Structure 1
Amino acid sequence: MKRIIAIAALALAVPAAAQAQPWGDPGQPSYGAGRGDQDAARAAVRGGRQVPLSQVIATISARTPGRHLNTTMGDFQGRPAYFVQWQTNDGRVIIFIVDAQSGGILSRQGG
């Protein structure tokens, strides 16, 4: 009986906890939006509205030796951007914020 009560309490608590989590502050940069980002990015590249990620990686690699860890899409100062997580050869991690339309590096954080 205790098990059933515990399961019921958990089932009721999970939706409430999920609703309590904010999805971000509109005043802060988004380090990755929601689902469908890859499809939207591919469509933007095909439509010429966005540079391909391979070009962004090549630009970063030419300036900062290391390796690509992860990339998300988001918004930076009202513009679509790539947030590229990069590890330098000495182990530091840098997040490059790259304008998705021009491919220009807007900012680098960390490292």
Structure 2
Amino acid sequence: MKRILTIFALSALTIAPGAMAQQGGNPWASQFSPGQAREAVREGKTVPLSKIFQQLKREYGGYQLGAELYSRDDGTTFYEIDWMTEDGRKAHFTVDAQSGSVMNRRGG
């Protein structure tokens, strides 16, 4: 019996980080699929990533490493963007998807 409980506990520890990564480390948000993200942009609900990338490039130089769109239960949407600055430092941005304004910046 102890062996079975140990297996379940170890399974939970290995699955939990993957689930958190799928949500950008934010357990209170749901990740958009690529199709949902395109539809949100097409409907004018979110700013296109290309515009946000242009803004970040003007302000910080460099280029995008990865980006995901998320939605909270209250209906707000935000992008989580990993960015490489011109001088080779990695930064992470949380950007309001409806306005395009940077809400949080870490690193870089």
Same fold (TM over 0.5): yes
Shift of 1:74: 2.3
Greater radius of gyration (CA): 1
Shift of 1:17: 2.9
Partner of 1:41: 37
Partner of 2:81: 84
Q: Is the 8 A contact 1:29 1:76 kept in 2?
A: no
1:108 aligns to 2:84 (yes or no)? no
1:68 aligns to 2:101 (yes or no)? no
Partner of 1:17: 11
1:52 aligns to 2:56 (yes or no)? no
Unmatched tracts of structure 2, length 5 or more: 1-6
Indicate the SS of the match to 1:102: coil
- Inter-partner Cα distance in structure 1 for 2:83 and 2:14: 32
Q: Give, as a single letter, the amino acid of the residue that structure 1 aligns with 2:105.
A: R
TM-score, normalised relative to structure 1: 0.68
Identity %: 31
TM-score, normalised relative to structure 2: 0.70
Aligned residues: 93
Change (3 A) 1:69 1:84: same
Q: Is the 8 A contact 1:85 1:96 kept in 2?
A: yes
Indicate the SS of the match to 2:47: coil
Indicate the SS of the match to 1:95: strand
